[in-house]
Structure formats: structure tokens, C-alpha cells
Amino acid sequence: MAPSQSEQNVSFIEEFLANTLRHVEVEEPSKKAGRPRVLPALALWAGVLVCVLRGWSSQREVWRLLSMRGIWHFPRYTLTDEAVYKRLEQASQDSLKQVFEAVTASLYVALSNHQATSQASWCSFACGVFALDEMTLDKLFRRLPSLRAESSTKLAGKITALFDVRRQVWRGLAYQENPQQNERVAARSMLDYMPKGSLLLTDLGYFGFQWFDDLTQAGLYFISRLRHKTTFDIIEVLYQDDQVLDALVWLGSYRADRARFSVRLVQYNHNGVQRSFITNVLDPRLLCLADIAMCYARRWDIEMMFNLIKTHLKLHVLWSSKLSVVLHQVFAVFTIAQVILGLRLDIANQANADPFEVSLDLLVRWVPRLAADGLDPVQTIVERGRLAGFIRPSSRLKLLLPSLDLARYAFPNSFVPLQRPPRYAGKT
């Protein structure tokens, strides 16, 4: 029987996933003593990935796929739909997270020498550039007709995610059940994914003196906006004119609330609006004002990736209101997104373009179509993408900034962060 159009349209991404999963060892969910499981865990997660990718509307489709036709290199399995649902309901999200991490590791190897052309000249001191943010599942649910009624009365936790800005792929994911929990609690689990010397970009949701001190203590760099009304004491002015202030400061002017390590404050006026950033990169020769602004503009990359998850991949039908089943879908979508993002970075590098200039929406729609026609999607888009609008110029990173002369800077003898006894106000 000839494959349907929908099956043809996902062949390219499925091929990558199938080849990756051939070499993956997934921990089997625990089971009481007795007869061994009929369905291997890896076959189950493969079924979930395929059904999410094809937009099928029920976990029963996983059962039908596995029992009637088989999938990829897996055979057909004799089991009931109740057995599949029970496995999904009882399994921890860590199971499919293993698959996500395996795909991520595979992409990291494949993209090890890739970085955006526009990123090659800045932040060379950092061994990696990462953005950190979170997505509340309740906000996702409000986009999903099947769960709008339930989500209006119940929050369902949130996903904390770490995004590799240079490689343009998700680096780490963590689910936390309590959506009201402080952002920095789950964020600490993401630090394990960043090698020392990495640069972390965060928004004001992660602003906290102890958090900044812990990053410095861990050997990580960071850039953050300065929260309004945050007090500080100037240690030394490095540069100042009518538009720019670049200085070493202590965060916290009061005894009850002060940071341990000194940081660098960079303020400048843009169209009459003052923008203020702090960083523990104290040497302006390593990280100038233009690089700080560019880096923070790239923090928006993670917001765009969340939009890919919520909009472009059209996660509009959930199989169940049970959170465990929903999480399997969510992690499956993140896994599929990894492959699409890897393709985008490959295209961007071969076309000498910034990843942002490659349309995600068009990739999602046209990569499967090109593959179904027997064409290499990457090569086709590299060769014809500009004419067809897949690759288009963007003004997103064309920032109007004050021009500074480093020769006018007053450089201290050492850029090692100064220390003082800290006092952290509020809850830790």
C-alpha cells in the first residue's frame, strides 16, 4: 500500500529520528516482578514522536501504529490500547526526556563546528552562549481548544528551558510541578548543562543578588537587565559621558540586601529611554557596550523558540487531560523542534546567513514536502532559499548604539571581582 501524503510529508524528520534512536539506550520504566514487558520503552517513545509529528489526535493512534503496522525498525507488537495508555499514564516524563537528550547529544556532535556567521566576532571569550527562560503549561493550554476549560481553573506546572544561542538548539529541559515556584529554583538544574566560562542571558524573572553571586562562584558569566529601583554603589567609573555610564558597582546599598561580588553596570540612552544592564564580565575589552546590546537582543531567540513550540508545530490537540500524558507530548514536540532547529542552523551556515534570517514557518511546512519530492531539503533551500523567501534580510540585530572609544576608558589594574560579606534579603 502506498504511503499517504501525510506520511510522506514527515519522512525527512522521521529518518533523522529513526537513525538517532537506533543507537539510544533508554532506561525501561520499573515494573513489578513477573512477565517481561511486551512493548519496549524505546518503541513506545518512537510511537509518541511519530504520532505527535503527524498531528494525530489520540494516544490510540500510538497503539494502532505499534500494533497494526509497526514503526521504523521496530516490529508489530500484540497489545491493547489500554496497555499503551496505562504505560503513558504511569511513566515519568524522564523517560521521553531521555530520548530528547539523546537527540540533543546527536545534534551537538553534528553541529559542533557550526555557529552563526554573525556570532563569530563577538563573545569570543565565552565557550558558549545560552539563554534561559520558562514556559508555563497553563499558557500553552490556553492555545489548545481541547483543554481551554480545564486550564482556566488549573495550572499545570512549567517547563524551564536552556537554549544554546550559538548552535541554535535546546540544551536542557526541566519540568517543575508547582508553577508558582521561584524561577531560580529550576534554573539551578540548568547550570549543569553549561561548561565553565559560558555566558548566560536572563530576563528580570531571574534577577536576584544570590543568583548572580552563585553564577560568578560557579565560573559562569552573565548579562541581565538591571531591575528598576535596585540600589547600587559605584566603585569605579570606567567611562562616562552624556549618553553612557560604564562602571564597576556593588549591588545593594543597604545592610539587609547586598551582593557578594562586584559587577559591571552599563547604562546608555536610546531614543530617550535609558537601558541598564549588569554583567560580571568586568573588562570592557572583552565585552563592550555593543556586544552587551547584541547579546541581549539574542536572548529573544529563546522566545522565538517557544513560539515554534506553541505555534509553528501546531500542538493544538492533546491526547489526554492527565498531566503525565501531556508531558509526553510536550517532550516529543521539543524533540521534533530540535531537528528542525538543527536543519535551520545547517542551512544558515551553508548560506552564510544568520539563523534568524531563515524562516521557521516555511521550514516546518516545506522541508517535509521537499523530502517527499525526493529533494535534499537543506541543499535546495541553500541554493534557492533567497529567491523563494526562505532566507530574507532582517533588521532585528541592526542596533543603533552610541559609538565609544576604548582609549578613553579608565581601566583598573585588575578585573577580578571584588568581594564583601553578602546579605540576601527575602527567601532563598
Rounded CA-CA distance 306/136 in Å is: 11
**Residue 119 above 70 pLDDT?**
no
Please name which of 109, 79, 91, 75 lies closest in space to residue 30, comparing C-alpha atoms: 91
More reliable by pLDDT, 227 or 61: 227
Mean pLDDT check: name the lowest of 45-49, 113-117, 216-220: 113-117
Strands in 273-279's sheet, in edge-to-edge order, are 169-176, 158-164, 129-136, 199-202, 221-225, 273-279, 263-270, 244-251, 232-240
Q: How far apart are CA 209 and CA 176, in angstroms?
A: 23
Do 261 and 213 touch, CB atoms closer than 8 A?
Answer: yes
Pairing of strands 273-279, 263-270: antiparallel
Return the percentage of the chain with pLDDT > 90, whole number.
Answer: 26
pLDDT, tens digit (0-9, with 9 covering 90-100), for 140-183: 555 554 445 554 445 467 888 999 988 888 898 888 776 666 66
> Looking at 194-198, 240-244, 328-332, which range is the least confident one?
328-332
Structure-block grid coordinates of residue 383: 541554493
Nearest to 111 by CA among 309, 385, 338: 338
Cα 221 from chain centre? 18
pLDDT value of residue 162: 94
Supply the Cα-derived Rg of the chain in whole angstroms. Answer: 24
Q: Residue 157 corresponds to which cell in the numbers above? A: 506546572
CATH number of 98-301: 3.90.350.10
Query: What does the pLDDT average to over 292-319?
Result: 76
Q: What angle do CA 126, 128, 129 make, to 5 degrees?
A: 95
Average pLDDT over residues 127-148: 70
> Which among 268, 239, 266, 279 has a CA at the least distance from the CA of 400?
268
For the stretch 295-306, pLDDT in tens is 888 898 888 888
β-pairing, 169-176 vs 158-164, is antiparallel
pLDDT (mean) for 6-32: 64
With beta carbons less than 8 A apart as the criterion, state whether 186 and 160 touch.
yes
Whose cell is 526562505? That residue is 390
pLDDT tens digits, 223-273: 999 998 899 999 999 999 988 999 999 999 876 789 999 999 999 987 778
CA distance 288 to 324: 46
> Residue 324 contacts by C-beta under 8 Å, 6 or more apart in sequence?
88, 89, 90, 91, 92, 93
Model pLDDT, residue 10: 47
Domain spans in the chain, listed from the N-terminal domain onward: 98-301
Instruction: Compute CA 151 distance to the chain's CA centroid, rounded to the nearest angstrom.
Output: 24
Tell me which of 3-7, 199-203, 207-211, 318-322 is least confident: 3-7
Looking at residue 207, its pLDDT comes to 92
Average pLDDT, whole number, for the chain? 80
Mean pLDDT of 379-388: 92
The whole-model pTM stands at: 0.82
Please report the pLDDT score of residue 153 as a whole number. 45
135 near 142, Cβ under 8 Å? no
User: Hunting for cell 493512534 — which residue is that?
Assistant: 61
